[in-house]
Structure 1
Amino acid sequence: MPPPHSGVTLSEKIYALLVEWGIESKLFSITLDNASANDTFVDLLKVQLNMRKQLLGGGKFFHIRCCAHILNLIVQDGLKEVDSAIQKVRESIKYVKGSQGRKQKFLECVSLVNLNAKRSLKQDVPTWWNSTFPMLESALYFRLAFSYLEISDSNFKHSPSRNKWDRIEKLSKFLSVFYEITCVFSETKYPTTDLYFPSIFMARMTLEEHMSGDDVYLKNMATQMFFKFEKYWSEISLILAIAVIFDYRYKIQFVEWSYAKFYGSDSAEFKKVQDHLFSLYDEYAVKVSNTLFALNDIPFDEKNVHKGKNEFLKEFDNFQREFGTAKNKSQLEQYLDEQTVETTIELDILQFWKTNQFRHLEVSAMTRDILAIPVSTVASEFAFSVGGKVLDQY
């Protein structure tokens, strides 16, 4: 697409493509990085789709920000608090890698302190923090070797002090939680949406723990990160919470337990999740019901059933539907009432719902879309969720 890549031109181009592909009425969500042009683009696109009543829930869950990008922004904000210590490590590794002679000198120091020379020092890309964490881990392993290099090489001036090494060690342990989360976001071949809420829960609990801790540097860092975390959490928490409810290992009990830790028991935030869950379900129940009615309108000879018998069964189906609506629990309520399984069990969530789609027809139609929401754009500029599929290479 030639410039300009403004929000208006993006909106016009993408909507034209959606119409050309015939999927403009099938979208559930779009996931983008946090660029201002993207925000304008998605707002305009949502207006166009809403005018034609083509989005569920009025498009409340249409715009999903890239979780990997959000996490990067959050951690980058926190790293500013300890940037001098990280810079020392960065410059130390640059120095060692700067010439073959320095590399050889460093390897001699590694041998002197009996470390594994096959392990390598890793240089980071400062704009992506998840490359900074492996750099710190590798530097910590060779901490003693750097100390020996400082003694044996008078030109080496970058070695962190003991206090800074201690700070880096604490920082590395703190960042390991966020690094694991980033791996969940970016390494899974097809990351279904249910994976994200437990990770986000772990991130928030880690931040709260260090905000109330004794270490001043980590406390300031966690506070800085928490401020930005809350800004983005408020935008994506609802749909991520709804998604994990359809994981048989977690269901709504996990969301209730998590929100109790965040906001206390019987919080308004948890009530909001429940309300939106049932509101979305009601929309899907209508869609499935309309589909079933449409099937009943197929000419009888095409269904290879005797006309009189079909009319009788059709009347019974209508009676059953009305009776069930009045007397029985909805499929969503039935699903929520079922027993969970252990969280340690490996579960292919898409295969589970494929297997159970006829037992929970309305719920499975809903989960197909929600679990397929792309919440990261690691491999693409942005991604669409269309009828349970992810179009992730635009």
Structure 2
Amino acid sequence: MEPNNEKSIGVQLTWPIKQSSRVPTPATPQAEDQKIEQGSSKKRKTSDIWNHFTKIKDGATTKAICLNCSATLSAQSNAGTNHLWRHYHRCKSEPRQSVLVPRNSQSLPELIRPPKFNQEAMQECLVEMIVAHQYPFSMVEHRSFREFISALQPKFKMIDQATLQTECMNLYKKRKAVISKQFDDHPSKIALTLEHWSSLDTSSFLKISAHYINPQWKLISRTIAFRLLPPPVDANVIVECITDVLEDWKLLNKCGSITAESSNSNDLAVNKICEMLKERQLLKSTDDYFHVRCAAGAMKEIVQEAFKTTQEAISKLRRIVHLVTATEASKASLQEVAGNCGLPSNKLPSRDILSRWDSTYSMISDALNFQLAFEYLQATQPEYLDCPTALEWLQLKTLKEALEVFHESVSSLSKTDLPSANRSYLNMKKIERHLSKPEHYENNHSINIICPMANAFQKYWARLREFSEIASVLDPRLKLQYLQFSLVKQHGVLVAGEKLTISKNRLICPTIPQLRV
């Protein structure tokens, strides 16, 4: 049957042109005959099939040689061109034979549909990648990176640093508009947290985060500001920063509470914000829970009290840890001595970071495993003469045991994706029970460490207790039953009944509807 090109099958074949710049048009034999002789002049035309064949004379006969596979076919004038077209369509050596160019890519399955290039979409992905991974803006001008992107998508036009900066700000404004609308649509109050940061050059920064619970009962947290605080940092500077952020995000009428670490500047700043909101009638005058003390910050302050009493022992330990971890030779020497003493030598003590008390706890905990090795080095090598004394090693051991419950509590708060207020009550009660153990008050060195911690705990817990009790009662897994159980266990039935009555009165006071954290 002769090919019929009148009916389209949705696929168009394209082939390279070998001898002519004209694109071949598949035709029927009738069309070929019409092309050979047309019009009144009856002038002979040349068929497009000869773009793919060449004529040669073989004696008295004429033959056609395929330019792709070198096949020999008849080219006599009375043979026509139908057989040449049939060979061309099925010639396996034709380089473009297997390449299909769909007329409509939407008719193909999604898995094999050719992707549509979008310069704006790729540019937005590039900006998001650089922001998410904190890559330098100069990355877009690196030669190797440009070559890599060009190999992936030759059509993509790489942007320069100036354009990248502009696109980053556009992305920030776009995301900010989305988050701002979420804040506007949220019907309840929003809780803020303040966190102070310091750079290596001692510059101070304030990180402000907003938290709320969405209709699906999921805690949503968003960082809404990270501002540089001009020196000297005092309450007025903090108030100005917080007010500017609240006005920028239109959250003055939605701010329900502020959580911050306990410090003179923070306490004064939050109190000023509270008074300002009350003056503008954006906060009820009876709201006593606007300023929420940070539980992790309170733990840090309590631990610092213990560090003060063992400062000399910690300083000596820090010096020898720096000494044994300075070179590979010193590390190998400690491991060899530890092995001879029968101690595990796979994990050496790590240096601590002065601004992070949990790293100091880890240093003390690891170093206690090498106490015998350090004492041997102290007796045999002069550079280790300044090791802690036997009494100081005992102080470090007591300190490690005292800080263990703090380390567990902070770890539990930092590892969870939902660090809500109800968790603070459970952790603080665990610390209170630990500090109240009688064995901590049996000797002087233990008393010198535990007493300052217990006094500091009572100071900070007095500010946190009421709010934490309310948060625990609002937890459907605990409610009043757990609070009652905890109070009875600590104070007895009579005292617990009085304290439970006070807690119930706080729960029904008019300030609770304002508290949506």
1:192-243: per-residue Cα shift (whole Å, max 9, x none)? 1111101100111111225863022222322211222122111111111111
Q: Which residue of 2 aligns with 1:344?
A: none
Higher mean alpha-carbon deviation, 36-45 vs 10-19, is at 10-19
Q: Which residue of 2 aligns with 1:3?
A: 230
Q: Which residue of 1 aligns with 2:502?
A: 272
2:434, 2:488 → 1: CA distance? Answer: 16
Task: Give ranges in structure 2 of 5+ residues lacking alignment.
Answer: 1-227
Residue 178 of structure 1 pairs with residue 403 of structure 2: no
TM-score normalised per structure 2:
0.51
Higher strand fraction: Structure 1 or Structure 2?
Answer: 2
2:493, 2:403 → 1: CA distance? Answer: 30
1:281–1:61 CA distance, 2 compared to 1 (3 A): closer
1:298-341: per-residue Cα shift (whole Å, max 9, x none)? xxxxxxxxxxxxxxxxxxxxxxxxxxxxxxxxxxxxxxxxxxxx
Return the offset for 1:165.
2.9
User: Structure 1: which amino acid aligns with 2:247?
Assistant: V
2:382 to 138, 150, 154: 154
1:8-35: per-residue Cα shift (whole Å, max 9, x none)? 3432442343233222222221112233
User: Structure 1: which amino acid aligns with 2:482?
Assistant: F
Return the offset for 1:157.
0.7
Instruction: Indicate the SS of the match to 1:155.
Output: helix
Using the aligned pairs only, state the percent identity.
Answer: 25
Q: Which residue of 1 aligns with 2:419?
A: 191
Instruction: Indicate the SS of the match to 1:58.
Output: coil
1:9–1:142 CA distance, 2 compared to 1 (3 A): closer
2:464 to 236, 244, 247: 236
- Where relative contact order (Cα < 8 A, 6+ residues apart) is larger, the structure is 1
2:343 to 72, 92, 115: 115
Higher mean alpha-carbon deviation, 116-125 vs 264-273, is at 264-273
CA contact (8 A) 1:67 1:185 kept: no
**CA-atom RMSD in angstroms:** 2.6
Return the offset for 1:52.
3.4
2:238, 2:427 → 1: CA distance? Answer: 32
1:272–1:211 CA distance, 2 compared to 1 (3 A): farther
Residue 34 of structure 1 pairs with residue 262 of structure 2: yes
TM-score normalised per structure 1:
0.65
1:94 to 312, 316, 322: 322
Instruction: Indicate the SS of the match to 1:59.
Output: coil
CA contact (8 A) 1:46 1:59 kept: no
User: Structure 2: which amino acid aligns with 1:3?
Assistant: P
2:431, 2:471 → 1: CA distance? Answer: 18
1:47 to 266, 275, 287: 275
User: Structure 2: which amino acid aligns with 1:143?
Assistant: Q
1:178-202: per-residue Cα shift (whole Å, max 9, x none)? 1111212333233111111011001
Higher helix fraction: Structure 1 or Structure 2?
Answer: 1
1:10–1:153 CA distance, 2 compared to 1 (3 A): closer
Aligned residues: 287
Return the offset for 1:54.
2.7
Task: Give ranges in structure 1 of 5+ residues lacking alignment.
Answer: 285-365, 371-394
Q: Which residue of 2 aligns with 1:133?
A: 361
Residue 105 of structure 1 pairs with residue 338 of structure 2: no
2:373, 2:423 → 1: CA distance? Answer: 40
CA contact (8 A) 2:303 2:357 kept: yes
Return the offset for 1:112.
1.6
CA contact (8 A) 1:125 1:132 kept: yes
Residue 84 of structure 1 pairs with residue 327 of structure 2: no
